[in-house]
Amino acid sequence: MRNEVNTNLRQQGRAELSFVADLGLVGGHLKRIVRHDIEARGLNAETLAEDLDERDQQIETALQDSRAYHNYRMLHRWGLGNLTRVAFDAFEQNRAELEPQLKRPTSGPATLTVAENVKIPKYWYNWFHNTTGGWDGHQYMGFIHGELIHRRVVGTTFPGGIFKQRADAAAQAPRSNYKRILDMGCATGHYTQALAKQFPHAEIWGTDCSIRELEYALLVANNNGWAWHLHRVPNEDTGFESQHFDLVTSYILLHELPADAIRATFREAFRLLEPGGDMLMSDVTRYWEMDPIAVWLQDSAAKREVEPFWRESATLDLKRAAEEVGFVDVESYGIGATKYPWITRGRKPR
């Protein structure tokens, strides 16, 4: 990438962000002890309840005297409660260097269109990940979320690293060439970049409800000479011309949507694809692919992380949802040993 925003940070902000990221690693070790403590109390696939709320009660009760569990939960809560503050502080310490780069009027081949009278869905206003103010909670939230929170903290905890994962997800597209690609829920454009690399000749479009995320995507695209078409519209109702794309795709968008919104997003993807076009969605591992303790660890973490739709999304049969709106040759599978990300891809019939 050329002419990128200089994201070097002064020592204090950098150290605090690294500290929060390292808490995630410590949490990972504690999680293994928590699992051991659960099993040591005789809880396993045979004894744990099917119902997730009941299972939660069962494990919570059993772990009352587990120090590992109390420390793990406290660490997780502390990290989540402080992540946005630490990122905002790091930004303030570096505002003098960062702001001129972020404020510079962007000029270049990329465009950002903010349609009037768009109806942003209510669920979008949740403060996902406990992010103060939500997706638009700071004038420079795109930079803060994309570069400070995602790249420096959250992304480091993903199996294999989140940037490699995005490239792996893009590589799951059935064809090696596309004319026009839509990245739904593109945020600051990190997956969009993986798509641009994988399909250098394609015209690239991105949608998101967050103006702040899109503003930063616009800056990065223009700094790099990428002619992206960015639009602030909801994925369920983009207002774009029918059959305009030959690939509609997303990375870790779906778990932030209620099940009905996932179905509506698939319906819109179907409408937007030309006959023979592909849909490729990548998201979190399906619960039925995980053992019951892993499901509980994930499900209880998602609650703390303010991921209100994680459970209903992770238990949704995405293959069926894609087939219901008309996709054919639908496949749904996880990548690698962790089955993460979970891919759902299908084709619009000719």
Ligand X SMILES: C[S@@+](CC[C@H](N)C(=O)[O-])C[C@H]1O[C@@H](n2cnc3c(N)ncnc32)[C@H](O)[C@@H]1O
Strand ranges across the sheet with 245-251: 111-114, 229-232, 203-208, 180-184, 245-251, 273-283, 342-347, 328-334
Under rule CB under 6 A, residue 282 binds ligand X: no
184: part of which helix (H) or strand (E)? strand 180-184
**Residue 255 contacts residue 285 (beta carbons within 8 Å):** no
38 or 284: whose CB is closer to ligand X? 284
58 or 192: whose CB is closer to ligand X? 192
Q: Which tokens is 303 given?
A: 């609650």
Cα 71 to Cα 22, 78, 94, 107, 185: the distances in Å are: 15, 10, 33, 49, 34
| Least distance to ligand X, CB of residue 63, Å | 30
Considering only residues 31 to 60 of the shown chain, the ones binding ligand X according to CB under 6 A are none
Give the separation between CA 13 and CA 298, rounded to whole angstroms.
29
Q: Site for ligand X (CB under 6 A): which residue of 140, 251, 296, 309?
A: 251
| Least distance to ligand X, CB of residue 137, Å | 11
Q: Site for ligand X (CB under 6 A): which residue of 124, 158, 163, 240?
A: 124
**Amino acid found at 3:** N
73 or 271: whose CB is closer to ligand X? 271
Give the separation between CA 71 and CA 28, rounded to whole angstroms.
12
Q: Which tokens is 97 given?
A: 């260097």
Q: Which stretch binds ligand X (CB under 6 A): 53-61, 90-98, 184-192, 324-332?
A: 184-192
Q: Site for ligand X (CB under 6 A): which residue of 43, 187, 254, 269?
A: 187
Indicate the SS3 state at residue 222: helix
Under rule CB under 6 A, residue 248 binds ligand X: no
Under rule CB under 6 A, residue 235 binds ligand X: yes
CA 228 to chain CA centroid, nearest Å = 20
Under rule CB under 6 A, residue 191 binds ligand X: yes
User: How does DSSP classify residue 279?
Assistant: E
235 or 285: whose CB is closer to ligand X? 235
Give the separation between CA 85 and CA 127, rounded to whole angstroms.
14
Indicate the SS3 state at residue 154: helix
Under rule CB under 6 A, residue 91 binds ligand X: no
User: How does DSSP classify residue 157?
Assistant: G
Under rule CB under 6 A, residue 121 binds ligand X: yes
Q: Which stretch binds ligand X (CB under 6 A): 174-182, 233-241, 320-328, 334-342?
A: 233-241
User: How does DSSP classify residue 237?
Assistant: G
Under rule CB under 6 A, residue 253 binds ligand X: yes
| Least distance to ligand X, CB of residue 75, Å | 23
Q: Site for ligand X (CB under 6 A): which residue of 55, 190, 229, 263?
A: 190
Considering only residues 199 to 218 of the shown chain, the ones binding ligand X according to CB under 6 A are 207-210, 213
| Least distance to ligand X, CB of residue 279, Å | 15
Give the separation between CA 63 and CA 34, rounded to whole angstroms.
8
| Residues binding ligand X (CB under 6 A) | 121, 124, 135, 166, 185-187, 190-191, 207-210, 213, 234-236, 251-253, 256-257
